[in-house]
Amino acid sequence: MGALGLLTLVLGQYMGLFWSPPERMMGDVGRMLFTHVPAAWISLLAYTAAFFGALTYLFTSRRGADAFIVGCIEVGVLLNVLLLIEGSLFAKPTWGVWWTWDPRLTLSAVMLLTFVGVLTLRRAVSDPDTRASWTAIASIPAYMTIILTYYSVKWWKSLHQLQSSPETVDVSMTLVLRLNAVAYLLLAIWLIAERARVAYREAKAEMPPLPPVEKVT
């Protein structure tokens, strides 16, 4: 799975860098969007998965759900950081500044803080069941505020943005974008699975061993 993801990434990046023609207004710098946009999509996807994991945990209290949440949040944070750095790398040559209060970037920063907060909370709790429960509980309002935060920041900046939809994007670019997105998705799935596996083993190790079964004579 991981190998597949890496392979796809190679292909996606190769296409992004060489095959895809330079964008009209941004020149080669536009190529960076191929690394930046998929990070945004997949990190949001990871957080969404974490949200559903949280709901699952609250209803079933299964340790597997908690392990899943950990994987999703960590990978989500990873991609979130990536997207913010990429965003800055993109902003400097195009807009001349390292940072801008563009609604989506601002939202990304807020999202990052929110979920880093949840991860920090985990470290503060020693009992695994409590930790799992509280992670799930904290994740839910955290996730739900994302939409409200998005709108509030958008109105704050009152920037009228053209959300790019595939119709407005040249076909050759959509393909590359989607390819990179698939690459990121595969890699994310792989990493989440790995991380969740470790977290699950951790959780099982923390459970006290069952008393030995007495032989009936």
Partner 1 sequence: MSDFAQIIAIAKRELYLEIRNRGRWAGLFFFAFAVLLMVAFAAPSTSVLRANAGGVLWIGLLLASTRSLDQSYAVEMEDGALEGMVLWPVRPWSLYYGKALSNTLTLLAVAFALLPLVIGICDVSVRGSLSDVVLFTALGCAGLAAPGTLYGLITAKARGSSVLLPLLYFPLVVPVILSAARGTTLVFEGDPMGQSGSWLGLLWAFNALHWSLSGLLYGRIAEDA
Partner 2 sequence: MTSLIAVGGSGAIQGGWEYIIPAFVLPWIFFVGYAVYVRRLAQAFEDPQ
Contact between residue 50 and residue 111 where contact means Cβ atoms under 8 Å apart: no
What does the binding site for partner 2 look like in residue numbers (CB under 8 A)? 2, 5-6, 9, 13, 16-17, 21-33, 35-36, 39, 74-75, 78-79, 81-82, 85-86, 89-90, 92-94, 102, 104, 161-164, 168-170, 172-174, 177, 184, 187, 191, 194-195, 197-198, 201-202, 205
Is 48 one of the binding residues for partner 1 (CB under 8 A)? no
- Angle of helix 33-60 versus helix 63-95 axis, rounded to 10: 160
Contact between residue 207 and residue 62 where contact means Cβ atoms under 8 Å apart: no
In angstroms, what is the minimal distance from the CB of 101 to partner 2?
A: 13
Count of residues in contact with partner 1, rule CB under 8 A: 33
Q: For 162-193, give the secondary structure using H, E and C.
A: CCCCHHHCCHHHHHHHHHHHHHHHHHHHHHHH
Nearer CB in complex with partner 2: 59/156:
156
- Which residues on adjacent β-strands are paired with residue 27? 23
Nearer CB in complex with partner 1: 9/136:
136
Among 14, 101, 127, 204, binds partner 1 (CB under 8 A): 127
Distance in angstroms (rounded) separating the CA atoms of residues 211 and 67:
25
Nearer CB in complex with partner 2: 10/147:
10
Note every long-range contact of 85-89, with CB atoms under 8 Å and residues 24 or more positions apart, other chains counting.
86/32, 86/35, 86/36, 86/39, 87/36, 89/32, 89/36
In angstroms, what is the minimal distance from the CB of 132 to partner 1?
A: 10
Contact between residue 132 and residue 63 where contact means Cβ atoms under 8 Å apart: yes
From the list partner 1, partner 2, none, partner contacted by residue 43 (C-beta under 5 to 8 A by kind)? none
Q: How far apart are the first and last CA of the chain?
A: 50
**Residue ranges binding partner 1 (CB under 8 A):** 58, 110-111, 113-114, 116-118, 120-121, 123-127, 129-130, 133-134, 137-138, 140-142, 144-145, 148-149, 151-153, 155-156
